[in-house]
Homo-oligomer: A and B are copies of this chain.
Amino acid sequence: MREFRIAVIPGDGIGKEVVPEGIRVLEAAAAKHDLRFRWDEFPWSCEYFLQHGRMMPEDGLDQIRRHDAIFLGAVGFPGVPDHISLWGLLIPIRRGFRQYANLRPVKLMPGVPCPLAGRQVGDIDFMVVRENNEGEYSSIGGRLYEGTDQEMAVQQSVFTRQGVDRILKVAFDIAQSRPKKHLTSATKSNGIAITMPYWDERVKAMSAAYPEVKVDQFHIDILCAQFVRNPHWFDVVVGSNLFGDILSDLGPGCTGTIAIAPSANLNPEREFPSMFEPVHGSAPDIYGQGIANPIGQIWAGAMMLDHLGCPEAGASVMAAIETVLGSGLRTPDMGGQAHTTDMGKAIADAV
């Protein structure tokens, strides 16, 4: 029996509702595949901030540094500004633990009404690989002439060779491992004419090492349009922090519901724990009603199993999600009546 120690951070809002369902399903998978989980829960959240003046303790990262993985719900709540809630918890974990590779699968699932006309299960199935540590999300910049007519705010995008090459390597490796071996790079070198041409150069350089991978590139504007028009064109799509963020919301938007989309924040070198979370946020508008869709969280759990070296267990969870979705059980965001716990229990049973 293999044992894993998981740091659980339910966070805010519906994070607190979906994380228990994720755990329920992971426990079912553990029972089936002879694994054991030790769940250490950390109450770091906006509530914690209101009590302690910070989103997590000063030694927060140290407290979870030796866990095998982090299972996160969602962070953020009205009343606590983003620069506190996100920049005090989510982003420090992504950066502090060098989780530079953010993997976000986009797949049209059975039983989920697709907003695109005429698309069938099987038509849309790609992976967005997002740079997660640098790029447009730097903290470099500020304001000048504050409060006057000449006021301005500037912010730097930073693309380092190390940062770009390591995410490209992850993306090329994934593309190489898939049957289609097709990688699309998101760029905007015609408009963002300093950093993006650099990105393109590194893509070109890296592609020399992957002769089997077919590489193309689209400017982000037309790429977004093609996600809608021709989603079947894509296999692996790699983008900067911002472009990957956009594409990994738009992709699930095209497959029906962002609530089922998962996100793996990976430290591929395994120097630090990786973090698994749904793509959706804390959804304060529906929090407390027990109607949040737990599938994004559960799918994130499946990605965690893969990362922990238990792909059979991960596959069991994915099969259970597909079975339950195929059976017609749906939460209200997908036009159904099921509650968060109904969905979690059904998927755990199906495992």
- Tell me if A258 and B156 are in contact (CB < 8 A): no
Asked whether A194 is an interface residue with its Cβ less than 8 Å from the other chain, the reply is yes
**What chain B residues lie within 8 Å of A254 (beta carbons)?**
225, 228
CA distance A218 to B245 in the complex (A): 14
Q: Which of B83, B191, B241, B249 contacts A241 (CB 8 A)?
A: B191
Q: Which of B82, B156, B191, B249 contacts A193 (CB 8 A)?
A: B82
Encode A231-258 as 1/0 by CB contact (under 8 A) with B. Answer: 0000000000110011011101110001
Which segment of A5-13, A134-142, A310-318 sits at the interface?
A134-142
**What chain B residues lie within 8 Å of A161 (beta carbons)?**
148-152
Asked whether A116 is an interface residue with its Cβ less than 8 Å from the other chain, the reply is yes
Q: Which of B189, B195, B224 contacts A253 (CB 8 A)?
A: B224
Q: Give chain A's interface residue range (CB within 8 Å of chain B).
A: 35 or more
- Tell me if B149 and A159 are in contact (CB < 8 A): no
- Tell me if A154 and B156 are in contact (CB < 8 A): yes
Q: Which residues 112-155 of A sit at the B interface, judged by CB distance below 8 A? A: 113-118, 136-137, 139-143, 148-155
Asked whether A208 is an interface residue with its Cβ less than 8 Å from the other chain, the reply is no
**What chain B residues lie within 8 Å of A151 (beta carbons)?**
160-161
- Tell me if A82 and B153 are in contact (CB < 8 A): no
- Tell me if A249 and B222 are in contact (CB < 8 A): yes
- Tell me if B224 and A192 are in contact (CB < 8 A): no
Asked whether A188 is an interface residue with its Cβ less than 8 Å from the other chain, the reply is yes
- Tell me if A139 and B194 are in contact (CB < 8 A): yes
Residue of B nearest to A251 (CB): B225
Residue of B nearest to A86 (CB): B190
Residue of B nearest to A134 (CB): B152
Asked whether A349 is an interface residue with its Cβ less than 8 Å from the other chain, the reply is no
Distance in Å from the Cβ of A165 to the closest Cβ of chain B? 9
Are A154 and B194 CB-contacts (below 8 A) given A226-B253, A254-B228?
yes
Q: Which residues 141-183 of A sit at the B interface, judged by CB distance below 8 A? A: 141-143, 148-162
- 20 A-B pairs besides A137-B191, A221-B246, A224-B250 with CB distance below 8 A are A82-B189, A82-B190, A83-B193, A86-B191, A116-B228, A136-B192, A140-B194, A148-B161, A150-B161, A153-B194, A153-B198, A155-B156, A156-B156, A156-B157, A188-B245, A191-B245, A221-B248, A221-B249, A221-B250, A228-B254
Which residues of A line the B interface, CB within 8 A? 76, 82-83, 86-87, 113-118, 136-137, 139-143, 148-162, 188-195, 197-198, 220-222, 224-229, 241-242, 245-246, 248-250, 252-254, 258
Q: List 6 A-B contacts (CB under 8 A).
A: A86-B190, A139-B193, A141-B157, A148-B161, A153-B194, A224-B249
